[in-house]
Amino acid sequence: MKSLRVSAVILCGGKGVRSGSKKNKVLCYFGVKTALEYCLDAFTPFCDNIIVVAAQSDEAEIIEIVKPYGANVVLGGDTRFNSVKNGLAAAQGDIVLIHDAARPFVSEQTIMGCIESARGFGSGIAAVKVTDTVKRVKDNIIVSEISRDDLYNMQTPQAFRLTEIKKAYDEITGAFTDDSAVYAAAGFTPRIVLSSVDNKKITAPEDLISTPPCNKIGTGVDFHTFAPNRRLIIGGVHIPYEKGLIGNSDADVLTHAIMDALLSAIGEPDIGVLFPCTDEFKDANSIELLKIVTAKVEKSGHKIINISATIMAEAPKMKNHIPLMRVALSNAMNIAEHQVNISATTTEGLGIIGEGKGIASSAVCLLQ
C-alpha cells in the first residue's frame, strides 16, 4: 500500500434537509470537531491528495476548515453524480476513495480494507450485512418476503482504480444512489469490504445530537484553607491577595479539581494517590502536574472534549483573572480555550467559604 498513490474525494455538497439542521450537517460539531474534520483526520494518513467537494454556499467555510489538512476544494454539481464527477477530475494517482462526509466515524480498518481491495480487484465497497428481516410492501400490505442471506447495506468509502471509475463516470449517465452502481453500469465488477455499523450516516435529527461512541464523564472537587505568607494560585494564575491557600503543592484548588475530574473519567486514582504529600511534590506547580494527568488521558486513548469548572470563593473576585486561567489550563491540556469554561460564585457569606476561610472548586469533564 505504501507504493500506491491514493486520492480521496470527500463529498460535502448536500444540504442535509432531512437532518433538520439550519446548516450543512457535515459542518455541525460532534464533540470538538465538525463531521468534515473527523473525515479529514481519518483519510489524511492514507492519502496523497484529498479533494473536498463543496456547495457554493459553504465554500468559504470549508476552505478555512481544510487549510490545516492541505486539502483541495472544488465546487459540486446539482446532483451527487455531478459532484463526484467534479471531484474525480481533480483526483490523481492509482486509487481513489469516494466518501460521504456525512459518515464522520469511519475507521482506519475500513479505509485500509477498501484501498487493499481496490488494489487487488479494482474496487472495494464498504458494506455491512443486513440483519433485519426484509419484506416487500405495497399499500401498507406485506406482499412478499425477501431473504436477507445475500443482502448488504452499502456505505462509503468506496474505493476504485482511478482510471476505471473515471471511465465509468465519463461513459454513464443517469440517476445513481452510489458509486458502485455507476461502476457496475460501465461493465466493471464491484467488490465489497465488510465495514461496521459504527460507520453510520448522519441523516435524521437525532443523529445530529449523537456523539462518537465511548464518551466518559468525570467529576472532581477540591478545597483548601487560607494561610498568611502564601501566594494565591488559581488555574495557574497568580492572583494578588493578602493570603494564599495551604497545600503540599501550590494548592491550586481549581487545577486540582480539574485533574481529579480527568482521572475519575479514565478510572485512575485521585491526585492524592498520584501526587502524595511527599518532598517529591513539595511546592509543585499544579499546571505541570496537570500536564502529567493529560498525558495519562491521552495514553488511555481518550481526548478531552470540554471542561466545565466552578470556583467558590467569597474573596478575592475572580472575574478579571478567568481569561488568563482559561489560557493556562487549555495550554496545559493541549486543547482550545473554548473547551475550558470557568465560572465563579460566592456562598453569600454562608459556611467556611463565606467566612473567608478557604476556597473550593468543582469540575466536570467530558472525554471522547
Cα–Cα distance, 258 to 105 (Å, whole number): 28
Residues in the chain: 368
Beta bridge partners of 223: 360
Find cell 439550519 and name the residue. 22
Say how far residue 73 (Cα) sits from the centre of its chain.
21
For the chain, give the mean pLDDT.
92
Predicted TM-score (pTM) of this structure: 0.64
Other CB atoms within 10 Å distance of the CB of residue 149? 7
Cα–Cα distance, 139 to 184 (Å, whole number): 31
pLDDT at 19: 45
Q: How confident is the model at residue 301 (pLDDT cuts 50, 70, 90)?
A: confident
pLDDT at 205: 61
Q: How confident is the model at residue 323 (pLDDT cuts 50, 70, 90)?
A: very high
pLDDT at 25: 87
Contact 155, 133 (CB under 8 A): no
Please give the helix or strand (H or E) that residue 342 lies within, else none: strand 340-345
Contact 131, 216 (CB under 8 A): no
Among candidate residues 65, 69, 60, the one with its CA nearest the CA of residue 29: 65
Q: pLDDT by residue (tens digit) across 27-74?
A: 987 767 889 999 999 999 999 999 999 999 999 999 999 999 999 999
Q: pLDDT by residue (tens digit) across 196-254?
A: 998 999 876 666 555 455 588 999 999 999 999 999 999 999 999 999 999 999 999 99
Q: What is the mean pLDDT of residues 138-150?
A: 93
Q: Is the pLDDT of residue 359 over 60?
A: yes
Percent of the chain surpassing pLDDT 70? 94
